[in-house]
Amino acid sequence: MDDKLLVLRRHVNRQIMHWWSAAEGLSNLESMASASAWAQLERYLGVAVRKSLKEAVEQLVRECDVLRAQFRAARSLSDLKAVQQGTIAFRDRYLRTETLVDYYSHAVNTRTSPELGATLRACDLMAQRSMQAVLEPLGQQVPHVLTYFDRGLGASILKAGLRLWDGGTLSPAATIKITFHNRRRPTALIHETGHQVAHLLEWNDELAKTLERGLSDAPVDIRKTWASWSSEIAADCFAFVHTGFGSISALSDVVGGAAASVFRFVPGDPHPIAFLRVLLGVEMCVRCFGSGPWEELGKTWTENYDLRDADPSVRELVAGSLPLLPRIVELCLRTPQRAFRGRTLCDLVDPARVRPEALLALENSLGSSLFLSSHWIAVECLRLLALYTLRFSTQPERGAEILRDQSAWMTRLGSELLAA
């Protein structure tokens, strides 16, 4: 074997062994997320996530074993150069799998303490319960949920069943990011499960068509723009029917920045103009609950953000949309959908259950057991979230106390789920 061939052989072998070692290293999941963090997952969720990651890494190692076999069989410069090209392709494959493992490891690692683990388990359950209410009556399987904390302004979701970065693995759970600032008021969690439900039922496209048909007498740019916002509107509606006014108030606190951001319109962005998005939520409350504190929010919102401060092109879109908000609410909440087998969203999840009077009646009927009984906390976790976010929205002077109580029942719920 000549010197040139030997040099290339050593070079290719070194590259292969580097990436083989890297792939082997991914198989130790405790080196990526601590054993204590894994222990904070409920068993069924831990099994599902571990199985998915293990299979992805095993497939990666098998591909590297094939590459090593090709290297051992190589006899010529052309053979070795072909293996070298395969090594470069494997490197890219490794990096995609590493992204997959790192993503889930980061999510698991946010459960490093018992308190955080308990809070996130409570969020897992609330997310699942919100999806069960719609998916189970329609004969659909409810995905596993893995929630985690991270920085930033908005929540997000990696939907269950999507093909992941490695090109082969399917997401084993609806993996939902909850922002640190919103961890004691996590109505955005239910917005994200709304995205998962809408995806599974193919509701987004249907809602877009419902909006375009229902607004047929509006200017074409207005009805097409509202149709383009269908995915975010669907998720907002889903959060509203489960958590009521609390979700609208929390949304206003998150998107209520400078006037430029509140009136920002980006064509192609699925998020409605924030000014309209909050007022649409206020209108949901009016249409479902009648008069209430949401009217004060709507009045303050329009006083704080003067439409004259908006760009002229946005001003026309907003002004033309405002009279349509009651109709848009009816189209979203009370129009039968094929996705719901001819029912409406309100047929599946009755928002009357989270109107203030209903939440007060729930508290009066169950008393302290609503907050102390493991049974009632688990059964009514979503209405408890609605109750506490309503209180926070209407009694900010008691905000610290309310948030402490909210944290306490969520920690209790999550701790009991792990012990069960």
Tell me the three-class secondary structure of 361-380, residue by residue.
HHHHHHCCHHHHCHHHHHHC
Cα(8)–Cα(20) distance, rounded to whole angstroms? 18
- 321 exposed, middle or buried (CB, 10 Å; 0-12, 13-18, 19+)? buried
What pLDDT is attached to residue 1? 56
Place of tokens 């039968």: 336
CA distances from 70 to 165, 256, 278 (A): 26, 59, 60
Cα(65)–Cα(62) distance, rounded to whole angstroms? 5
133 contacts 242 by C-beta, under 8 angstroms: yes
What pLDDT is attached to residue 3? 82
* pTM of the full structure: 0.94
What pLDDT is attached to residue 313? 86
Cα(127)–Cα(136) distance, rounded to whole angstroms? 14
The phi, psi pair for 145, rounded to 5°, reads -130, 135
The one-letter amino acid at 389? T
Divide the 420 residues of the chain into consecutive groups of 10 and give the mean pLDDT of each group: 84 96 92 90 92 95 96 93 96 95 95 92 97 98 97 96 92 96 96 98 98 97 98 98 98 96 96 98 98 98 95 94 98 98 98 98 94 93 98 97 95 88
